[in-house]
Structure formats: structure tokens, C-alpha cells
Structure 1
Amino acid sequence: MYSDTAHSGTPTSTAPSAPTWDPQQYLRHAGHRTRPFLDLLTRIPELPTRPARIADLGCGPGNVTALLADRWTGARITGFDLSPEMLERAAKEHAGPTTGGGRLDFRHGDLAGWLPEEPYDLIVSNAALQWVPGHAGSFGAWINGLRHGGTFAFQIPGNFTAPGHALLAELCDTPRWRSRLAGHGARYIHILEPAEYLARFTALGCSADVWETTYHQLLQGPDPVLDWVKGTALRPVLTALGDDREAADAFLAEYRDRLRVAYPAGPRGTVFPFRRIFAVARKEA
């Protein structure tokens, strides 16, 4: 899947390693992961045609793709993802006719090279583009693939300097783990700041709305931050360790101990701040 650090997204084939995704783990925090997408939907303007044609880039297990059918009844919606595990879950749970007379389907697609094969009214991506180095370079082609008056919208994590990521990068580069995991904890330097995304879209002739929000999430359960990142940022690490269960358990124990210090549990849960970056770009009508 293309996912956040969970929609819902999966790394591309150009990444250092292609993680194996676990849809069930990813969906354990579906409520918190879905909220940014719902906030994004409220800012997407009316689409130019009905029924709408929509692409969801990095659809993951399809849970937020299905929300598009609720917003645009009758739409024909295709979710694209690189992960076979995520696509299998999405197809099983969500593919087929929708109650509004539209249809959902899911296809394999690597966002590093994805191009619109037909005109779209909306191209949307939820917590996926952070896995795609150089993704801003595709904006021109994606905007060109929209109908006039169509919209490209996305949200991505903007928390890659937060303690959870910093500690992961630090641990991967320790002598014990460097030979197997060097670079796996610091993969997101290609994420742009909101002003940079705004500049990209205005240069393409779009009207654009770009903003950021930090959600202060109260997570429940033992070691909930570790449980969160097991569904996203830790996937490349766990994939690199493969079937070496002893090594994986040792790494997780070290990382868990560091996270407990950085994100201490409180009487009502563990506060986990999470910054998100949003963009809505509308092609001229």
C-alpha cells in the first residue's frame, strides 16, 4: 500500500525496499487515520461532470476509497496501489457496484510512474505520496489528466522530524543495526513544505488551497505509538529483517523503550501529535 505513518499508502518499486504491508495492522488505528481524509474532502469543490470519474492514488485497504462513493454518488472510482496485500483486502471489502449507482474497482499501480489513462474529475491521494520520492514532479502530468474544472487533492504526513521518526532513524544507524537497516529510518526528505506545494500548483495555473494541521491524538493501549508505526513507518524495517524473528523482536524492544520516553503514557492515554499537510488544486474551468 501507499500509506501514512494509515489509509491509507505503499512504497514504490523505486524505494530502497518494497515493504510487505499488513492491512489488519494498518486499520487498527483507522479512526485517527481517516480523520485527515475527511477534513480534506470538505475542501474539495464541486466536480465538473456527473457521474464523476475519480482516481484514488495509494488506496491501501480501500476504506477511504469507499468514502468517495458516499460523497459523489454515482461516481466510477478506481483505487490504485502497489501492495498486493492491500489490493486484495480492498477488492474483497469494497469492490463492486455502490448504493448510489456507481462502481468501485481496484488496480495495481506504482505512483512513481502512474499517468492518467483517461480524463478524471478528481485525482485524490491520502497519506501515500510520502512514499514516492520526487512526487511533485508528477503534478503537471496529473493536472493535465484532469478535466477542466477538475481537482487534484492530497494529504500527507508532515511529521518526519517528530521524535518517533528521529528515534527510528537513530536506531537504524546504531552499530548493531547499521549493516542491515542503514537508511531505512530516514526516507522522507523529499516531503515539501506547504508553501512549496502552493508554489508548484500556482506555477501550473491552478487555484490552490494548501494548509497544515497538527492533530493531538490520544492513543489507547500498551505502547500505542509503537503499535501505530507498525502499520506504516516500521514496514520497511520489518520487511528488511524478513523472517529473522529474533532480530525483529530485539529491534522492536529497543525502539519501544525509546518511544516510551518520548511519548509517556498518561492517565487517559498517550498523546501522539501528528502534523499533516493538505493541498487542493483546481484546474481552470
Structure 2
Amino acid sequence: MSHTWDPDRYLAYADERGRPFVDLLARVHAERPHVVVDLGCGPGNLTALLADRWAGARVTGIDSSPEMIDAAREIDGIAWEVADLREWARPDPLALRAPVDVLVSNATLQWLPDHLELLPALVDRVAPGGWLAFQVPGNFGEPSHTIRTDIAGREPYAAHVRDVAVPASHEPADYLRVLLDLGCEVDAWETTYLHVLAGPDPVFDWVSGTGARPTLQALPDDLRPLFEEEFRELLREAYPADPSGRVVLPFRRIFVVARKPGGVTVDA
């Protein structure tokens, strides 16, 4: 089932969502790349960091959401494209597309159930000596996700949401193994951030802009408020506010930076 994204809702926690991107980028030691691509660029606020760091590069942001790309087009100096990541990664037998010196994907691959099998195709798009860097959430066993799954599995909701997109990821060692087998130098790690949130239902606000959004959109108008009410209540129990109203959301992230063999790229 299809769903749409809301750039404004996504950007409500722009600082928290952006920090993993900055931490990922810190491990990419490309000095003077010519072609830089951000797969799953969203509203483009983080893609702009790529253009700032590598001012001489041709930077392109790609996202499957027209709504996200419309928001991104407010940012000048970057090429924006609406495209499916899997289509973009397809083999190019005529070599019509320029190889990518730095290929970045931030919190996107988790939406593709087969993304582990997609890694060889992504590496193929990278120039010899170039870089592939991605980050995916690794918190799908936490209440922020399991509560949604439990509620969605019950009637009357299940009939409406059983086919919706649900994000998932693998362990760092899984990504490491695949990319090592492809001949890459690989740095893989994980970090758990402790996001301090505020407001009456901040964890619901967080997940309703990302992982839970397809489920909420798939529900009919008469059922969505009931689902949301139960979801909010259980999230408040799982993530209680302290006396000052602060809520701590632990968020595990998985990072991978791989350098493709070959080429003469000079490290910074």
C-alpha cells in the first residue's frame, strides 16, 4: 500500500534526526569527490551538508517522495530527483551514468526488505576508490515499534494494515560481512542516542512522522482515532515523563562506511 510523507512533520525533530547523519559523514574521508549522491534525501536539509563539505562536487539528492523533493527544491545548488532507490541502483550496461564518488543513504534502506541483497548493486554504482556510507535505525525491538505491531495485529485494525510498509534492519555484522565479501574496506558500528523529548505525547509525535506513518495512513477515518488513542496511551506507559515533563527516547542506530577497492582517491 502506498503512503505519503510530510516534510514538516519529519522536520519536527530535525536536530535529533540529523545527528546520526553528521556522525556517519565524519567517517567518510573523501577529499575531492566529483559526484556525490544522497539516496533517500528527504526534505534535503542534510543533503545541504554534503554540498557545504564538498563545494566542488556535483551533489544530487534522490527520494521516492514527491512531497519531500518539493520541499528540498527550496535549497539551491543541488540537483533533486524523484526516483525509486531500487530503480536507481539497476545495472547500467552501457555505462551512461557517471560513477559516484560518495554515495550516502541516511535512514532509508530500512524501508526496503531486500536491502541487504541490494548492497552489491549500490557498490557497483560507486567509483573505484569511492565511498558508500549508510545509517539505519536498529531499534525495531523497542516499544516504540513493538507496540504499533501489537495493536496493528488485532482487529478491527489488522484487515486494513496487514500489507503496509514496515521498516526493518540487520545487525552491523551482517552489513560488514556482505561488504567485506565485495572487497571493500568496512567500518561498521552502532550507537544508542538518548533523545530528550518534551510535550504531551512526544514519542507518538516522533514515530507518527516516520515508522508508524504508513500504518496510520492506511487506517480508515473512523478507526484511526481509536488506534491513535490506544497507541498514545501505551507509549506514555512505556516512556513515562519525569517530574519536569521530560521523556527519554533511547534510539539505537547502525552505521556502515565502506570504501570500494581501486582508484587513486586521496584521503583527507
| Distance in 2, Cα, partners of 1:169 & 1:204 | 35
Do the aligned residues in 2 keep the contact of 1:172 with 1:183 (CA within 8 Å)? no
Using structure 2 for the length normalisation, give the TM-score.
0.91
Using structure 1 for the length normalisation, give the TM-score.
0.86
3-state SS, counterpart of residue 211 of structure 1:
strand
2:242 equivalent to 1:260? no
Once the 2 structures are TM-superposed, how far is the Cα of residue 51 of structure 1 from its aligned partner? 5.2
Do the aligned residues in 2 keep the contact of 1:212 with 1:278 (CA within 8 Å)? yes
2:250 equivalent to 1:273? yes
The residue that corresponds to 2:127 in the other structure is 147
| Distance in 2, Cα, partners of 1:165 & 1:174 | 15
| Distance in 1, Cα, partners of 2:206 & 2:127 | 37
The Cα offsets for residues 189-227 of structure 1, whole Å up to 9 and x where unpaired, read as 5x2111110000100000000000000111111100000
The residue that corresponds to 1:64 in the other structure is 46
What letter is aligned with 2:236?
A: R
The residue that corresponds to 2:191 in the other structure is 213
The Cα offsets for residues 221-248 of structure 1, whole Å up to 9 and x where unpaired, read as 110000001110121112212xx43322
Aligned residue pairs: how many? 255
2:24 equivalent to 1:46? no
| Distance in 2, Cα, partners of 1:64 & 1:18 | 25
Once the 2 structures are TM-superposed, how far is the Cα of residue 149 of structure 1 from its aligned partner? 1.1
Do the aligned residues in 2 keep the contact of 1:157 with 1:275 (CA within 8 Å)? yes
- In structure 2, stretches of 5+ residues that fail to align are 263-268
Task: Give the alignment partner of residue 282 of structure 1, picking from 251, 259, 268.
Answer: 259
3-state SS, counterpart of residue 80 of structure 1:
strand
The residue that corresponds to 1:134 in the other structure is 114
What letter is aligned with 1:165?
A: H
The residue that corresponds to 2:37 in the other structure is 55
What letter is aligned with 2:24?
A: L
- Aligned-residue sequence identity (percent) comes to 48
Do the aligned residues in 2 keep the contact of 1:57 with 1:79 (CA within 8 Å)? yes
3-state SS, counterpart of residue 87 of structure 2:
coil
What letter is aligned with 1:68?
A: L
Larger deviation: 131-140 or 162-171?
Answer: 131-140
User: Counterparts in 2 of 1:69-148, with a 5 A limit?
Assistant: 69-91=51-73, 93-94=74-75, 96-97=76-77, 104-115=78-89, 117-148=97-128
| Distance in 2, Cα, partners of 1:225 & 1:86 | 22
Do the aligned residues in 2 keep the contact of 1:169 with 1:184 (CA within 8 Å)? no
- In structure 1, stretches of 5+ residues that fail to align are 1-16, 98-103
Cα RMSD (Å): 1.5
The Cα offsets for residues 231-283 of structure 1, whole Å up to 9 and x where unpaired, read as 10121112212xx4332222111100110100001134101000000000001
The residue that corresponds to 2:154 in the other structure is 174
